[in-house]
């Protein structure tokens, strides 16, 4: 509805176009001057090509997860760029799809917003056209009184909610949403619409289906003012955006987690440290164990990168198990570098004890591809003041401590003594 000039693509043309988009993404990873906006352009292009079917979207996410294999730079190169590119892709896709949805809603609103100050004959014709649009529109439409009680719903709305239209008439629209969205919905509708007496508000909110599950919808809610003996009413035009929200969530997770190990990546680690800084008290310290495997290059050279990747995944699993048991987070920065983060309040003794347990967790050999492989690690241990600190500076201090541990021969840890305050 929003683009009447759209011409469906043949299967061959679609495949060629998708191949070009994938090449664009891979090229962005390998470019000397990295431009993450390429991801947003590709996401927007998918919407313009009308490739928004949930099956297509799910398959696209699977293909994008394999994107690093197309990069010429190898498995270790793309980490931070891939995260930024996928985040940009999700933003571009969501923005284009939202614009498309709003355009559809506006078109419906334009069709249905006709003047009722006409002759009786014209009004009857308008009512007839309204009913045709109402009953056959692909988007969900509801009419409610100024208290939010549903007067009528069209078949698309009933289908979206998973309930019979007859059961919905007389129900409060506020009772059909999620409890956590109740206050927001009432405030937007009562304060921004009914109190003003006119206008349209747009709202993304969860709705409850007939089976008790929840989905997400985008609604454009218009106050149609009354005239004389005719009461005003609320006209809501909505679309189920559950699949889009899930796609955004999947892309968000991909952009912040390492695809090899599933651990948080550098981007998410940096965000977590920044969050800890924001909520820190003046005397709080944050603990870090910056871990690097000793001699890992030998494994790659001797057994190949595929075996090396599987060893990294196995090491990550043990580190994650230990971190979960101790109640902290471990992330992979790339290559064979990992960082464990311990939230405030904590002291250097507790961080040192955690480092000892991390080393112990990877002491036993790993069975990988028929080989029994043993690895050791070096760890830089710090407990840094976090109030008013800088996330990069904290990581840099831990990195320097790691360098000292490596210089001391590895297979152990170096404790950076905090500067007296």
Distance separating alpha carbons of residues 351 and 289, to the nearest angstrom: 7
Pair of tokens at residue 157: 């709305």
Are 303 and 234 contacting, i.e. CB atoms less than 8 angstroms apart?
no
Residue 151: HSE in the Cβ half-sphere, 13 Å Cα cutoff: 11
Closest C-alpha to 144, from 237, 57, 256: 237
Structure tokens at 260: 């090899």
By CB atoms closer than 10 A (0-12, 13-18, 19+), residue 15 is exposed
Could you identify the residue written with the tokens 């997400």? 216
Would residue 336 show up in a list of annotated catalytic residues for this protein?
Answer: yes
Tokens 């304060």 label which residue?
191
- Active-site residue, from 231, 336, 392, 408: 336
CB 192 within 8 A of CB 183: no
For residues 62 and 271, what is the distance between their CA atoms, to the nearest angstrom?
A: 25
| Tokens (6 digits) for 241 | 């955006």
Beta bridge partners of residue 208, listed in sequence order = 214
Say whether the peptide bond before residue 345 is cis (omega within 30 degrees of 0).
yes
- Pull the structure tokens for residue 100: 């498309």
Active site residues: 336
């Amino acid at each position: 509805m929003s683009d009447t000039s759209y011409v469906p693509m043949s299967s061959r043309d679609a495949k060629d176009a998708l191949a070009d988009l994938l090449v664009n993404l891979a090229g962005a990873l390998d470019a000397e001057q990295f431009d993450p906006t390429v991801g947003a352009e590709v996401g927007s292009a998918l919407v313009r090509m009308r490739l928004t079917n949930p099956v297509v979207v799910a398959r696209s996410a699977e293909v994008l997860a394999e994107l690093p294999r197309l990069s010429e730079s190898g498995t270790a190169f793309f980490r931070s760029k891939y995260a930024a590119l996928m985040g940009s892709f999700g933003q571009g896709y969501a923005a284009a799809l939202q614009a498309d949805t709003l355009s559809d809603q506006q078109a419906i609103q334009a069709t249905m917003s006709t003047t009722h100050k006409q002759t009786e004959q014209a009004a009857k014709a308008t009512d007839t056209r309204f009913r045709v649009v109402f009953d056959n529109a692909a988007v969900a439409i509801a009419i409610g009184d100024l208290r939010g009680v549903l007067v009528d719903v069209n078949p698309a709305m009933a289908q979206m909610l998973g309930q019979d239209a007859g059961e919905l008439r007389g129900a409060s629209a506020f009772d059909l949403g999620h409890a956590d969205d109740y206050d927001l919905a009432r405030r937007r509708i009562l304060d921004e619409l009914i109190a003003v007496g006119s206008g349209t508000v747009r709202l993304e909110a969860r709705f409850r289906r007939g089976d008790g599950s929840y989905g997400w919808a985008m609604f454009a809610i218009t106050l149609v003012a009354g005239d004389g003996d005719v009461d005003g009413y609320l006209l809501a035009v909505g679309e189920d955006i559950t699949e889009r929200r899930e796609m955004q969530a999947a892309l968000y997770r991909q952009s912040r987690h390492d695809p090899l190990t599933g651990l948080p990546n550098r981007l998410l680690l940096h965000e977590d440290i920044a969050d800890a800084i924001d909520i820190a008290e003046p005397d709080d310290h944050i603990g870090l164990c910056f871990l690097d495997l000793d001699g890992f290059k030998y494994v790659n050279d001797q057994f190949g990168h595929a075996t090396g990747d599987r060893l990294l995944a196995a090491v990550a699993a043990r580190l994650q198990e230990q971190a979960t048991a101790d109640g902290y987070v471990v992330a992979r920065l790339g290559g064979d570098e990992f960082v464990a983060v311990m939230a405030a309040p904590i002291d250097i003794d507790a961080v040192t004890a955690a480092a000892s347990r991390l080393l112990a967790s990877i002491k036993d050999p790993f069975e990988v591809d028929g080989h029994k492989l043993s690895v050791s690690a070096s760890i830089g241990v710090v407990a840094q003041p976090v109030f008013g600190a800088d996330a990069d500076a904290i990581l840099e201090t831990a990195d320097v401590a790691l360098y000292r541990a490596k210089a001391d021969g590895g297979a152990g840890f170096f404790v950076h003594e905090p500067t007296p305050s």
